Amino acid sequence: MEAIFFYGFATVAVVTALLMVLMKNPVVSAIYLIVTFFCLAAFYVMLDAQLLAAFQVVVYAGAIMVLFLFVIMLLNLNRTSFTSYKLFFTKVVALLVLGAILLVFFGAVSDGVLDIGQGSDQEILATLEVTEESTHIEKLGMTLFTRYIYPFEIMAVMLLAAVIGGVLLTKKRA
């Protein structure tokens, strides 16, 4: 029974991937890639990764491909104009934002020195356990926010840097 689903989705994924590479019209290629992403989300469900399947649909098919389609259709961009800003004010705000980010980062990886609540991180961690009956989102959350908290915080800063970089790269010279 599982073989029917696997071979069906595998055929659709491979065929649409081939069509994506071969089509001349980039809009059609983008649509075929969206279909491929949905097939991959079905594979994630078959592999007991339901939360990742939801992420696949929301992030890849819902955000990344929408961004692709925006750029494909808006390639003749009209010029955008940003109002002038005061440079010194910008630097102060940037320093404050960096300080806030560092505060959150050190608060996440500290061993309870900055906490004002009850109990240190070690005591709170003792109550969390990844058992057999945990749902997928519980397993993912417990591992992500304890053992992999460093990459998680760095990922947030990286996303911010990417957004700022994207805006700066397309900014018209004043």
Partner 1 sequence: MMLEIGLYHYLALSAILFLIGTAGVLLRRNAIVIFMSVELMLNSVNLTFVAFARYMNAVEGQIFVFFVMAVAAAEVAVGLAIIIALYRNKGSVNIDEANSMRG
Regarding 3 and contact with partner 1 (CB under 8 A), the answer is: yes
Instruction: Spell out the residues 6+ positions from residue 130 whose beta carbon is closer than 8 angstroms to its own.
Output: 138, 139, 142, 143
How many CB atoms are located within 10 Å of the residue 37 CB? Answer: 19
42 binding partner 1? (CB under 8 A): no
Which residue of 35, 55, 101, 124 would you call a contact of partner 1, by CB under 8 A? Answer: 55
CB 44 within 8 A of CB 56: yes
- 67: amino acid identity, one letter: L
Please report, as a single letter, which amino acid is at residue 21. Answer: V
- Does 61 engage in binding with partner 1 (CB under 8 A)? no
The one-character DSSP state at 116 is -
Asked if residue 63 binds partner 1 (CB under 8 A), the reply is yes
> Where along the sequence are the contacts to partner 1 (CB under 8 A)?
2-3, 6, 10, 13-14, 17-18, 20-21, 26, 29-30, 33, 36-37, 40, 43-44, 46-49, 52, 55-56, 59-60, 63-64, 67-68, 71-72, 75, 77, 130, 139-140, 143-144, 148, 151, 155, 158-159, 161-163, 165-167, 169-170
